[in-house]
Amino acid sequence: MLRILIISLGILGIQGMESKIDFSLLESSEPADILISFGQIPSSIYRSNNARISRTNHISNMVSSLKSHSSDSQNDVTDFLQKERIPFEQLWITNQIVIKRCSQGIMRKLSEFPLVSRISEDVHYPLDEPQFPVQVSGTKIGDTPEWGISMVKAPEANSLLSEVLGSDDGTVDLPEIRVVVIDTGILHTHEAVRNNFLGTYGWYDPSNGRLDPYDDNGHGTHVTALIACGQFAVCPHLSDGSSPNCSYAASVVSNSWNGGQGQTWFDPVIEAWHSAGIIPVVSSGNTGPPCGTVSSPADRNVIAVGSTTNIDSISYFSAVGPSVFGEVKPDLTAPGHDVVSAWITGNTAYAMASGTSMACPHATGLIALLLAYKPDLTYAQVKEALFGGADTANLVASGRNCGGINESEFPNNVYGHGRINALESLKALIEAYPITTEPPTEEPTTEPPTEEPTTEPPTEEPTTEPPTEEPITEEPPTTPTPGNGCVHGPFWFPDEVNVPNLICICQSSCSSQYSYNCLTAANP
């Protein structure tokens, strides 16, 4: 649903230092916006040597190491740029430097630095627009769930989550699950969003630097903005770029943008997300129906989501696999055809649109719901629950045999593992990781040592005290941590919903008017 840059991978036939410079930059004598790359980031930076370290501390350490590595790699170049009084921006998550309006003369000088590996153009790419005109309705139709929400059984999953996590007094204690949406902006005062928008640490606009949330309906973005948003998801800061605080790191990132195939330029961001425990969800693209059309970064190590209709057929525009790497993609499908959701023309405005950009937030919302039950789920565990609960029985065959895999086999290159089902995925997760509350409450009262004082002299009492302490210290590891029930997806936001601090928006540019649809929101 968004825009994207593709960085060319090399230049053939150019010798010497100029071989580091993209051919497109050498073809023109005009100044250009460029990205200076400094080679691969050591994989050790993403690993933690302390298994007991908290998530926030691990992320903080990783960010510190990435910044230190970037500073060391870029030191000679930054000294040169400062001496030449050339403005620049450093991207620590990818170890790159951004320069606007750079001349060819400066590019050639930069290519002479030994640690510079490539100089590429920050190209502007249009987004894949939805397949149908947007139909704007004046006000919300009602509190009935949109068809996609009903089809994936989100209301039933929410009820089950509340039942499982509820206490005897009927209350449900729901912690925050933060979802970062890398997109074109947000009307944060909209009735479907305002109760769930993070506010402070919830907005960043690397494209235009505006401090307050907005969405101005543009038509694309640059890679630098997407990378900057990737950094924001790992360690958010205030809207002016100050005061980074890694405790606000996302749990899930929704990416309804894509372009090109086999592109690796976003890989360092994805790697950092995985290390930080952030689940990356990406729309597969709107370049279907031919086989092998899934776009980057959906063809990388992410959860790629295709689009289905209200009769459980694949949307004709939904990009399908296999990827150019031969992998089965998409991973899953979700409702993305004729989806009604919030619109930017007013605080009660709604619109209908179609695209994998509409499907991606459905899957993102489901993942947030699963994390609500168990916030420390790993990427592999999330996928296991999603895949295990996906619907396959009633999916309508499209007649394709993409990658030599018949659609009756799962996973396949049209539907992936199937169409998401929130209720079944949550059931699978609860079965795999049951909340056991009885052992901690029963053990101290039923232990044999409590009987010993009645049959033994008082001299035995000191020996009975230590055992009563042991169960207390062992309880936390044996009891799964319950999490936050939330996130249904587009259009269904009853009046009683008021779970703050859920959605963070990183405005990576002015994008399409369609891109704001389907923002997920909390719903206990």
CA–CA separation, 328 and 318 (whole Å): 14
CA–CA separation, 14 and 4 (whole Å): 27
Quick count: other Cβ atoms within 10 Å of Cβ 442? 11
CA–CA separation, 65 and 80 (whole Å): 23
Helix (H) or strand (E) holding 506: strand 503-507
Structure tokens at 190: 């909209």
Q: Given strand 203-204, what is the order of strands in its sheet? A: 203-204, 503-507, 179-183, 252-255, 279-283, 303-308, 332-335
> Which position has the token pair 């776009």?
295
CB-facing half-sphere around the CA of 91: CA atoms within 13 A = 29
Contact 265, 117 (CB under 8 A): no
* 203-204 and 503-507 strand pairing: parallel
CA–CA separation, 395 and 391 (whole Å): 8
Name beta bridge partners: 29.
none
Catalytic residue flag (residue 215): no
CA–CA separation, 203 and 480 (whole Å): 32
CA–CA separation, 64 and 78 (whole Å): 19
Contact 324, 292 (CB under 8 A): yes
Catalytic residue flag (residue 205): no
Report the chain's C-alpha Rg in angstroms.
25
**Identity of the residue numbered 365:** G
> Which position has the token pair 């949550």?
426
**Identity of the residue numbered 520:** T
Write the burial class of residue 209 (CB in 10 Å: 0-12 exposed, 13-18 middle, 19+ buried).
exposed
Q: Please pick, among 22, 122, 128, 183, the residue that the annotation labels catalytic.
A: 183
Q: Please pick, among 190, 219, 222, 417, the residue that the annotation labels catalytic.
A: 219
Q: Given strand 89-91, what is the order of strands in its sheet? A: 89-91, 96-102, 32-37, 118-121
Helices (H) and strands (E) in the chain, counts: 13, 16
> Which residues are catalytically annotated?
183, 219, 357
